Structure 1
Amino acid sequence: MLNLRLFILISAFGISRAKIFFRPDHTFDKNCTLPNGEQGICRSFMDCGTAVAEASERPKTCYFEGNDHFVCCRVPRPSDLACTEYKLPRPEVINGLPTEPREFPYMVALGWNTSETSVYDYKCGGALIGPDWVLTAAHCTSSGGEEPAVVLAGGVNLTSKRFPPTPIEKIIIHPNYEHKIVYDDIALIKLTGAPHEGEPACIGDRLPLIGRNATAVGYGHTVFGGLPSEQLLKAYLLTIETPQCQFHYNDEEAIPNGLRDTHLCAKDLQFKRDTCQGDSGGPLIIKNDGLYKPESYVIGVTSFGNGCATDAPGVYTNVAKYLDWIEPIIWPHYIPKKVA
């Protein structure tokens, strides 16, 4: 289990511990230049959030107002603002015993209706990236011509009866996705409400993705052709360069134009852990280490592979490449107002 600590800033300038918040107006004046040459905004150091945490060098000072230190920050994306808003600690209780929060509280299972009332067939995974929004694979939005009906959130056992599954309100598939072709294999699911037991993960585009230790999470088969697991499982993987991956998928009909930068590959180089059938749509996670506590970032959505735990890496949809599609759907209120 991961220990959910306070969302604090450990300042190199001797600033005391405090929560980081973006100001509510979300109007940004681009009035400074970042060390990399991009335009930035002068904001209080305490309001800079991930813009400071991801800086490659000491933040550039704009000015001081009394004791407030204003530095040059990158303009936060809607996903940055949402991530900051989500991360308020809360206690969790499992089976009546007080515990630390679940290790993967953003993990969900997609359930299909069965012939029995209130009994669901869980066939795919996904990740909460908003209080009532799930990120999954486009190919997980239909099984036998039927759409999933509910999600079970919180990374709980699939037989758990503690909280009922949350009904699905609507499904939005990426407009460029084509059935049987594994490009743009990504979709969003709007729920009828926020699951009681779930907590969103973050997404973003400023994270290094190659050569990173990552964790794949799912309820899929533990062996190729086997039975799905009722317990949530995880696999520790390493993200690798796409050319290393392409070698294993040269003759696949599902990728007629080869792998793209919208794909992300990962494999276990030592123990041959991998995602498998039933893990589809589930998240590939990394921890972003900054000046405050590490946050879970969904960098990939389990898409396809060549068998399970073979020499071929698993292929994931690269979430960072789809932020321009995701953000206006989930966080239109965070889109910065243009300043004349």
Structure 2
Amino acid sequence: MSVDARPLARARRLTLLAVVAGAAAVVPSAAADAPLLRTASTIGTAPAAPRIVGGSPVAITAVPYQVRIRVRGDGQPWGTPGPFSFATCGGAVIAPDTILTAAHCTFAGVNRIPPASFVVDSGFSRLDPTPGAGGAVIPQAGDTAQTRSVADVRRHPRYRSREGDQATLAQLTDDVAVLRLAAPLRYDAATQPVALPAPGQSPLGTARVSGYGVRSGGGTQDGGLYALDVPLLDAAIPEAKGGAGELNALYAVTRSRAGSTCQGDSGGPVVQAGTIVGIVSSGAACGAGQSGFHTNVAAPEVLRFVQGEANPPLAPVGGEGVALRAPTSTPRTGDTLTCSPGSWTNAPTFTFAFTDTRDGTTLQSGPATYLLKPADAGRTVACTGYATTAGGVGRTPQTPATPAVIGGAAPAAARTRLRLALRAPAVVRRGGSIRVEAQVRNVGGSRARGVRTCVTPGARFVVAASSGGVRAGGRRCWRTSSVRRATTKTFRLRVRAGARSGPAPLVTGTATATNGRTARDVARVTIRR
């Protein structure tokens, strides 16, 4: 039995969540178009309404890490006299002089916005949404508004800006920037930092999003600060179903029946248990039931950049083709289940979790195989693969579960038994090649189904030619739909240039049937001059 979980192809285009507002004031705001949620893409259009869709109004003291970033649309320094237009984004205080935001908020198309064009406002709960008012702060009880200019902007080196406000998830990874303020903020009840997370995978559970963004796609601004507690979706869910799919190591994904982030919330914080786990980036649309895609701050590819590294390590990307395999379509106690992680980039190491899907109990975490025990009778088992690099942790979607495990051994006649024999001459000369036969014999009581035969050359040899088969890494593999008695595969190995003389492993082979156990054999040879 083989159970595969293959994500659907990524096709959706997402919209960035910056907001554009017109102003005739002398002080502009920050944010430019960037890749992924719906955001206004033209500086100077009619004002947009900043507000979390479906959220509730909150005082800044409830989310004191929240800031508003404004940026002039003409690229001039903030405070330059004369009329101007400006755009807005959210951000989060992580140190007195440091603000975390989305990289797309720091670009106008493909052009980097200079630091002097930004201004950061903290410690306030309401702004003036009137066109021409410049987004001025309207003091509220408990507010202690502060405004700071920006001295420097650091953008993630792998983020790629683009014209327009739409792109795919793959085009919008590493959407993170760090602003250094010209003067530090004063901490008080309305301005406080949020902690950075420990390195890890995409978060699960519940988080809070907040911001001054619009309340509906293309809506009008009301000037309030809003917050919404939202579930964090398993980011490994395929993109076509609202997750981040193979890019899950780099994204936190939210989806709620109550609402979502929207235009003007870009760059804002996604906070869980007092730590910032996400930076608002993009989404397909605004509103209830819509997925929001946020840069995963816990991924070391992101976190180590935030902490100052110029070239952080890469996170793993992949998981397509994850599969759970069993010897038969009706697994029994005593059978071994094997979890295959699918294909991945950036050379991760793997661990696997086997789970009873009836109640979510984790049966085993660690190796790729799980031996079904008597206590597993009746359980339906699925697996998840975890891929780890220095840049992050990605996970596969959970595979579909097996049928309920049957207790007791299968009748002997229903079993297949494979034996593998590798045959080759005992001696080969340096610079020469050698013919090898891999014979698979079925000595069990039933036809072997879906037989896969794979051979791996020893370190001093390389495959020179073969009778069919496909390359899989350094291996050569063949598939045979069924074997009643025997099947033989023939191939040649060539001695690698410079290989030393003497006894050496020639080739290692395995033969596995979907309804039987794996057979193995190793052949050795002597290399002579």
Which of these two proteins has the greater Rg computed from alpha carbons?
2
Partner letter of residue 155 of structure 2?
I
Residue of structure 1 equivalent to 2:280: 302
For residue 94 of structure 2, give the secondary structure of its aligned residue in structure 1. strand
Residue of structure 1 equivalent to 2:95: 130
Residue of structure 2 equivalent to 1:160: 138
Partner letter of residue 166 of structure 1?
R
Report 1:112-131 matches (<5 A).
112-113=71-72, 121=86, 123-131=88-96
Distance 2:246 2:222 in 1: 32
How large is the Cα RMSD of the aligned pairs? 3.0
Report 1:1-340 matches (<5 A).
102-113=61-72, 121=86, 123-143=88-108, 145=111, 146-147=113-114, 148-158=117-127, 159-160=137-138, 163-180=145-162, 181-196=171-186, 198-205=191-198, 210-244=203-237, 246-248=239-241, 259-268=247-256, 270-271=257-258, 273-287=259-273, 296-321=274-299, 322-328=302-308
Contact 2:270-2:277 at 8 Å conserved across structures: yes
Contact 1:299-1:320 at 8 Å conserved across structures: yes
Residue of structure 2 equivalent to 1:23: none
TM-score (norm 1): 0.57
For residue 110 of structure 1, give the secondary structure of its aligned residue in structure 2. strand
Contact 2:150-2:182 at 8 Å conserved across structures: yes
Bigger mean CA deviation after superposition, 108-117 or 277-286: 108-117
Residue of structure 2 equivalent to 1:19: none
Distance 1:235 1:264 in 2: 16
Once the 2 structures are TM-superposed, how far is the Cα of residue 263 of structure 1 from its aligned partner?
0.7
Structure number with higher strand proportion: 2
For residue 199 of structure 1, give the secondary structure of its aligned residue in structure 2. coil
Once the 2 structures are TM-superposed, how far is the Cα of residue 165 of structure 1 from its aligned partner?
1.5
For residue 248 of structure 2, give the secondary structure of its aligned residue in structure 1. coil
Contact 1:280-1:304 at 8 Å conserved across structures: yes
For residue 264 of structure 2, give the secondary structure of its aligned residue in structure 1. coil
For residue 259 of structure 1, give the secondary structure of its aligned residue in structure 2. helix
Contact 1:248-1:312 at 8 Å conserved across structures: no
For residue 238 of structure 1, give the secondary structure of its aligned residue in structure 2. strand
Partner letter of residue 93 of structure 2?
L
Partner letter of residue 308 of structure 1?
C
Distance 1:319 1:216 in 2: 14
Residue of structure 2 equivalent to 1:8: none
Partner letter of residue 249 of structure 2?
D
Q: Tell me: CA distance 1:242–1:209, structure 2 relative to 1, closer, same or farther (3 Å).
A: closer
Q: Tell me: CA distance 1:216–1:233, structure 2 relative to 1, closer, same or farther (3 Å).
A: same
Q: Tell me: CA distance 1:119–1:263, structure 2 relative to 1, closer, same or farther (3 Å).
A: same
Q: Give ranges in structure 2 of 5+ residues lacking alignment.
A: 1-58, 74-79, 128-136, 163-170, 311-529
Once the 2 structures are TM-superposed, how far is the Cα of residue 207 of structure 1 from its aligned partner?
7.2
For residue 260 of structure 1, give the secondary structure of its aligned residue in structure 2. helix
For residue 195 of structure 2, give the secondary structure of its aligned residue in structure 1. coil
Distance 1:155 1:199 in 2: 12
Once the 2 structures are TM-superposed, how far is the Cα of residue 306 of structure 1 from its aligned partner?
0.6
Distance 1:101 1:275 in 2: 17
Distance 2:138 2:254 in 1: 30
Q: Tell me: CA distance 1:206–1:175, structure 2 relative to 1, closer, same or farther (3 Å).
A: closer
Once the 2 structures are TM-superposed, how far is the Cα of residue 281 of structure 1 from its aligned partner?
0.3
Once the 2 structures are TM-superposed, how far is the Cα of residue 119 of structure 1 from its aligned partner?
8.7
* Deviation readout 1:89-130 (Å, 9 max, x if unpaired): xxxxxxxxxxx9811111111112377679984510000111
Distance 2:225 2:276 in 1: 17
TM-score (norm 2): 0.37
Once the 2 structures are TM-superposed, how far is the Cα of residue 323 of structure 1 from its aligned partner?
2.0
Partner letter of residue 119 of structure 2?
V
For residue 239 of structure 1, give the secondary structure of its aligned residue in structure 2. strand
Distance 2:297 2:222 in 1: 26
> How many residues of Structure 1 are paired with residues of Structure 2 in the alignment?
216
